[in-house]
Chain A
Amino acid sequence: EVQLVESGGGLVQPGGSLKLSCAASGFTFSGSAMHWVRQASGKGLEWVGRIRSKANSYATAYAASVKGRFTISRDDSKNTAYLQMNSLKTEDTAVYYCTRPAVYYDILTGYSDNWFDPWGQGTLVTVSS
């Protein structure tokens, strides 16, 4: 069974830092990209960023709202992805989910697509003084 488990959430003051972890099991973690998505209370889903696999040079991408403050990394030996959050703002308060993109690729046509499945249970980050 594919499983993702986030940890590391908590209460932090504005301007502070926090590092979230996402432990994966049930699939070949090293071959998969990993994404982070957040959700403020009562609000919708907001993509935070992603890290690709070693084969794709561990390339990262971030939402404009977190670029320069958040860093995604991974340790394939531990099957774990991380979200380092610095210079936290009150508006970063949210439940943070990690998720894996399930990828489809047609070798004959070159068509590829991906969708998020599964998702972890989420970890709550509260930025408040």
Chain B
Amino acid sequence: DIQMTQSPSSLSASVGDRVTITCRASQSISSYLNWYQQKPGKAPKLLIYAASSLQSGVPSRFSGSGSGTDFTLTISSLQPEDFATYYCQQSYSTPPVFGQGTKLEIK
């Protein structure tokens, strides 16, 4: 199975900050990488698909980049509603493995 490793596991930031979360695959997955946001008690929500495509309705402050084994999710200017846990997920092969998550907390 392909392993997905996110860093950091947790992050403290302030409203207005620029934040970057990294996801690394154990082998090349081309651009088969998706990002999800999850708030407490809620289901995950798709943010970015195919490494860099913004899901409809997601604010443009979210962006994704990368290919091969290294990927990033960037939030250009944190808003209060962005404090949540973020997961990457590879769709290159079965099983579709998720990263362990990055919890974004208010500083």
Contact = CB atoms under 8 A, between A and B. Distances in A.
Given A114-B91, A119-B43, 6 more contacts: A61-B94, A97-B43, A97-B44, A102-B46, A115-B34, A117-B49
A50 B49 CA distance: 19
Q: Is the interface of B mostly helix, strand, loop or mixed?
A: loop
Interface residues of B, number: 24
Contact of A45 (B31, B91, B98): B98
B44 A45 contact: yes
A116 B36 contact: yes
Given A113-B91, A117-B46, A47 B100 contact: no
B96 interface: yes
Assign chain A's interface to a size class: 20 to 34
A110 interface: no
B100 A63 contact: no
A44 B100 contact: yes
A8 B50 CA distance: 33
Nearest to A46: B98
A116 B100 contact: no
B68 to A, nearest CB: 15
